[in-house]
Amino acid sequence: MPWLRFIPETTNIDFVGWRYYAFAVDGLLVLVAVVSILLQGFNLGIDFTGGALLEAKSAHSIDISQVRSEVATLGFGEAQIQYVGTGACDQPKNSCVLIRVQPKGNQSGDAVVQKIKDKLGSAYNFRNAQVIGPKVSEELFSDGVKATILAVILISLYVAVRFEWQYGIGALVATGHDVFVTAGLFSVLHMDFTLNTVAALLLLAGYSINDTVIVFDRIRENRRKYKRMGLSQLINLSTNQIATRTTLVSAATALSMLPLLFFGGDVLFNFSAAILFGILVGTFSSTYVAAALLLYLPAPAGAVEDGAESAKASSP
């Protein structure tokens, strides 16, 4: 496209030379995440703390902001309200809402459900009322953490099989780094950590490994073409060749998330924020975590370690 011609196809940046500055910034991010998680933990949402859930149907379309205002007057710890559009709720449109509230203090789940019914009145038909206990919520949180860790490990195993074990370690550290730092954002800013957050972290793991695999694939391709090139030069060359492509893809993905961030409401805000922050961190880590880590591992088969290139050239 003509208007994109000002963007260079390749760059000439000494990524490897700047790695220590990048390590310092990244180390600070990880340190902040670790300290925040250890000191204040996560602000767990209803999904992971327990609460009451019920579905309300009206004969007419529901103004969700009005329902949210009425429920807010009851003084619950947290309330999430969203439209439900399946089955009988399709007619008329937006005639069903799902209400999820977190009891405050020693309130029982049944008492919470009854308060909501009394507040909204007879204009609504209530059904599917459930009380989620703390034990179920703890299991849900544990399963979410296990699913995220398992996804990162399996992704790394795939990379190790597809490339070599050194690349698998780089993928494991980079993907785990992206997920952990993004999770740390929720702790630092005290944002609600819900099932949507777990979904965002799993999606981020997939996005992160995509960038990492592209860098690894270009390194492997150049390794075959430039057999006598040192590993530092090889990483620099490969990263510069794909820098523009990676930047444009990341920018396009970020732009597609902005409408969800600003207009998706409370339900999608945290999800969108996690993805946007993860895109930034993932783009950074594909070079300065995944690729840079190769410098500190035994050289992959066929790669020339730094300093070995000149030794080969001077040998008889």
pLDDT value of position 316: 37
pLDDT value of position 309: 44
Enumerate the domain spans of the chain. 51-132, 136-309
pLDDT value of position 263: 80
The parts of the chain modelled with pLDDT lower than 50 are 1, 3, 308-316
152/146 Cα distance (integer angstroms): 10
* Structure-block tokens of residue 41: 């933990």
Query: Is 0.85 topped by the overall pTM?
Result: no
pLDDT value of position 136: 64
* Structure-block tokens of residue 230: 């040192």
DSSP states of 102-171: E--TT--HHHHHHHHHHHH-TTEEEEEEEEE-HHHHHHHHHHHHHHHHHHHHHHHHHHHHHS-HHHHHHH
275/256 Cα distance (integer angstroms): 11
280/178 Cα distance (integer angstroms): 9
pLDDT digits (tens, 9 = 90+) for 46-65: 777 767 778 888 878 887 78
Is the CATH number of domain 51-132 3.30.70?
A: yes
pLDDT value of position 108: 63
pLDDT value of position 34: 93
pLDDT digits (tens, 9 = 90+) for 260-277: 888 876 667 888 888 999
Is the CATH number of domain 136-309 1.10.3720.10?
A: no
